[in-house]
A = this chain, B = another copy of it.
Amino acid sequence: MINVALMGHGVVGSGVAEILLGHKADIAKKAKEEICLKTILDLRDFEELPYRDLFTKDFASILQDDSIRVVVEVMGGVTFAYEYVKACLLAGKSVVTSNKELVAAKGHELLQIAEEKNVNFLFEASVGGGIPVLRPMAQCLSANRISEVVGILNGTTNFILTKMVTENMPFAQALSLAQKLGYAEKDPTADIEGHDSCRKICILAALAFGRHVYPEQVSTEGISTLSLTDVEYADRFNCVIKLIGRAKQTDGEHITADVYPALINRSFILSGVHDVFNAIVVRGDCVGDVMFYGRGAGKMPTASAVVADVIDCVKHLTARKYLYWEEGAPDYVVSTRSSQTRLYVRATNGHPASAAVAIAKAFGDDSIFTIKNNSSQEIVFITPPGQESALRQKIAGLTCLHDPVILRVID
């Protein structure tokens, strides 16, 4: 029998407790060992729960209990989570977490301690909720050189964008619907400004390319300024707008890592991922594109991923060897503006016809672009592929375009 402690009894934590206590026999069969939830750390009282006797407010009682071999951290945040997780690993306990903020900020350091102590630090639930992605990427795709990871990493923003695309619902209304349905927090900043996606692309990039990526290194744009107008034009170009996280190897020594709303061509499988679903595409040199799809958040999906990691810990009480990455470096992440892309541009102009001539001159007569005019004298086009910074320079040079909205296109 292996004793487990749970730190945090919020949404995910209560789901973990539910599965560990409710599926006990099934889990014992899979782990080939009985797993006993011994202690739950939370500052709140849960007098109504049948398992109220398991609660403690004292972290030291977990740390000092040598019978506890695996600790689950689902408190969130970095301050206490970091201190407690580090202490547990140093004490020779394996740790499982769903805390993307912690892994994105301190992943390398904690993995290194885990390796030194020959215990596990697992965090499958930190990216994609219940979708298996980190372990398959590290294990099953290990014979591939991964060149790119791109995904829809946040269910809240994908729900909002789906409503905007399919029902023409303005952003503010879609956000308040998401809040009503429990998909968005009261303070939705982390989701809609892309911070949540940023942490997840940090973790994916670190695992794919072997070096820590810090959130501060990732250029991050959210969706709060997206207008229905762009959503509608995207549709005319056979694209949908999605908030994506993307990391690409550039020259073997550097990567790009960014979060931004982009036009996704409908021929690309990611364009079909709707509502609160997440999906991650991994591009390998042998396998081509592989996609992992499912519910990226929610109590039970996330909790089930945490418990799967606990089962894996119990099966392998010494360090699993597939998860590791090196320390980050200040110049490791480079700007995506040196990469090739196409750009979507929307601007206003009093004289669309003459602007069209200027655009054609800038991007070549045979360039792929379309101009649509409406009563507001808007000009909309997609550039041919080119280096992003050069394309932007050309667009800036077109003084006929007023206040252009510029979005990247992914084919």
Contact = CB atoms under 8 A, between A and B. Distances in A.
Counting every copy of the chain, the complex holds: 2
A30 B142 contact: yes
A129 B309 CA distance: 25
A143 B304 contact: yes
A286 B303 contact: yes
Contacts of A19: 143, 286
A136 interface: yes
A396 interface: no
B305 A140 contact: yes
A288 B130 contact: yes
A92 to B, nearest CB: 21
Given A290-B293, A292-B292, A308 B142 contact: yes
A269 to B, nearest CB: 6
Nearest to A32: B321
Nearest to A267: B274
24 contacts: A15-B286, A27-B142, A27-B143, A30-B142, A129-B287, A132-B132, A132-B140, A135-B135, A135-B139, A140-B308, A141-B308, A143-B304, A143-B306, A143-B307, A143-B311, A269-B272, A272-B272, A286-B300, A287-B301, A289-B294, A290-B293, A290-B294, A291-B294, A292-B293
Interface of A: 15, 19, 23, 26-27, 30, 32, 124, 129-132, 135-137, 139-145, 269, 272, 277, 284, 286-295, 300-301, 303-308, 310-312, 315, 321-322
